[in-house]
Amino acid sequence: MKSAAKTLVLLALTSGLLVQAQIRNFAHVVVIVQENRTPDNLFQGLCSPPFGNSRSCSTSPTGRQYDIQISNWRDNTSPRGVTQPRPVALANDYDLSHTHPSWLQQCDEDAAGNCQMDGAAGIPCIGTCPARPQFAYVDNSTGQLNPYLELAVQYGWANSMFQTNQGPSFPAHQFIFGATSAPSLVDDHAGTFSSENMLGKGIGAGCIAPSNRKVQLIDSNGVESPTKRIFPCFEHNTVADLLQPRNITWRYYSSGADSIWTAPNAIRHICVPSSGNCIGADWNANVDLTPVDVLTDIGACNLRQVTWVIPTGQNSDHAGINTGGGPAWVASIVNALGTSWSSSGHQCDYWGNNSNDATAVFIVWDDWGGWYDHKPPTALPPPEGNYQLGFRVPLIAVSAYTPVQFVDNNRNDFGSIVRFIEHNFGIPEGALTFADARASTNLTSFFDLRMPARPFTMINAQVGAQFFLNDKTPPTDPDDD
């Protein structure tokens, strides 16, 4: 009996050790960035079959409910103060302004400084615009959005993810890569940020833009003065500068050297501009201007430890320029990671089934795109608070260690993603002293590293990886609205 008792004790101790002996951290972090959507616009499918029902969603969520508003969207131009949303195609033929003035218009700040979130009707529309074009949700009658919806319900969804900036894509991508859109550390700490996309004739962004291209600055009082416009070539540390001294590898996939979405082109010491080209050693080693190469690198077991994946315009979800490929594009990346063990001849296991090579994936949209969303942001304290935080954007977290249908209700922003990267690789959280220091969360709530790795199940999509690998269509550039 004593021997049996000892055996039971040993088994119990061993079981306890096994519970603790999954993984200590993720070997890889992949940040997939899509464009210009809100949860209310893109994720209405979480509130209807087959992914949910009306009870799955609430504007005062409890438990696993999604914070999605399906009717009675606030509209200060309507006699009743509300309007009913209508469906629109993902690849629609109009775009909405998402500049800082448009942000202010939609916010409609009250006397106490809080966003009433009822001013979207005043946002300018470009293209073939229907009545009340801002009050629309993406139609999923063909199942085109199913990859996004399946990822949200199978893994982790953020009810309160906010873009850090109150404006469009250029500053948003700077925050995602470097935790600030300020020209320098001093500017960031003083509350001065680049706040818009490029100004001036021609195309191009960053240190290799034409000399007449400028970017608008906003000061700590929230003022965008015409006298405060500078060439968009900045100098401050980024996430990459935290990684390299620790021999943590990184790669940034994007479709154009001078794109407003290619954040490293605006960091002088990474770009090292010369005759209209970035020639820096870090640029040449780590910036890949063919986004589909991420699929090739995963298949070749050549995934870097930290990866940013920026789409082509066709696969971006950006209104007015996308062709509807975004959901399948994202699914192809997740599926490549999930099946790397079987497809690579057991050379790598980026899902983490049988190794310590697991990957955490964050799928995030860079800004709200001018679409309606009901959930107001909370402004940060001065001096940064007059440009931070922006409106809500979708965020999905995916890994073998994310519980099924996990819903996070913490208030997160792009700085939270940077904090996660810092935390995961043993870097002091807030090390950049930018949005990573101002964020209050680090997204670790999405992962339980003590649980057994979940087996991967393929995400169904209308086209697979081979479509993107074989697609020879020239990538479209984002617009500069």
pLDDT per residue as tens digits for the range 56-100: 999 999 989 999 999 999 999 999 999 999 999 999 999 999 999
What is the mean predicted confidence (pLDDT) over 157-176? 98
Tell me whether residue 108 is in a domain: no
Tell me whether residue 128 is in a domain: no
pLDDT at 13 over 50: no
Tell me whether residue 375 is in a domain: yes
pLDDT the model gives residue 373 = 98
Q: Assign 200 a pLDDT band (cuts: 50, 70, 90).
A: confident
Tell me whether residue 81 is in a domain: no
Give the end-to-end CA distance of the chain in Å, rounded to a whole number.
77
pLDDT the model gives residue 426 = 97
CB 203 within 8 A of CB 477: yes
pLDDT the model gives residue 441 = 98
Q: Assign 341 a pLDDT band (cuts: 50, 70, 90).
A: confident
DSSP 234: B
pLDDT at 4 over 70: no
DSSP H or E stretch at residue 187: helix 185-190
| φ, ψ for residue 216, nearest 5 deg | -75, 140
3-36 residues labelled b (16+ CB within 10 A) or e (exposed): eeeeeeeeeeeeeeeeeeebbeebbbbbbbbbbb
pLDDT at 475 over 80: yes
Q: What span, in angstroms and rounded, lies between the C-alpha atoms of 369 and 126? A: 12
Q: What span, in angstroms and rounded, lies between the C-alpha atoms of 395 and 363? A: 6
DSSP 332-381: HHHHHHHTHHHHTTSS--SS-SSSS--EEEEEEES--TT----PPP-PPS
Tell me whether residue 93 is in a domain: no
Contact partners, residue 83, CB within 8 Å, separation at least 6: 73, 75, 121, 132, 135
Residue 445: helix, strand or coil by DSSP?
Answer: helix
What is the mean predicted confidence (pLDDT) over 30-40? 98
199-237 residues labelled b (16+ CB within 10 A) or e (exposed): ebeebbbbbbbeeebbbbbbbbeeebeeeebebbbbebb
Q: What span, in angstroms and rounded, lies between the C-alpha atoms of 368 and 394? A: 9
Q: Side chain identity at 371, as an amino acid letter?
A: W
Max alpha carbon distance in the chain (Å)? 86
CB 88 within 8 A of CB 324: no
Tell me whether residue 405 is in a domain: yes
Model confidence pLDDT, tens digit, residues 105-157: 999 999 999 999 999 999 999 999 999 999 999 999 999 999 999 999 999 99
Q: Which has the higher per-residue pLDDT, 11 or 470?
A: 470
The count of structural domains within the chain is 1
pLDDT the model gives residue 111 = 94
3-state helix, strand, coil in the chain (%, to 5): 30, 15, 55
Residues spanned by the domain of 329: 22-68+141-470
Tell me whether residue 116 is in a domain: no
What is the mean predicted confidence (pLDDT) over 361-370? 98
Q: What span, in angstroms and rounded, lies between the C-alpha atoms of 149 and 96? A: 24
Tell me whether residue 161 is in a domain: yes
pLDDT the model gives residue 234 = 98
Model confidence pLDDT, tens digit, residues 273-315: 999 999 999 999 999 999 999 999 999 999 999 999 999 999 9
pLDDT at 32 over 80: yes
pLDDT the model gives residue 242 = 98
Q: What span, in angstroms and rounded, lies between the C-alpha atoms of 77 and 314? A: 33
Q: What span, in angstroms and rounded, lies between the C-alpha atoms of 370 and 41? A: 10
Report the relative pairing of strands 412-413 and 193-199 from DSSP bridges. unpaired
Q: What span, in angstroms and rounded, lies between the C-alpha atoms of 396 and 414? A: 13
CB 400 within 8 A of CB 351: yes
pLDDT the model gives residue 343 = 63
CA torsion angle 399 404 405 409 (round to 10): -60
CATH number at residue 417: 3.40.720.10
pLDDT at 20 over 60: no
CB 348 within 8 A of CB 303: yes
By percentage, how much of the chain surpasses pLDDT 70? 94
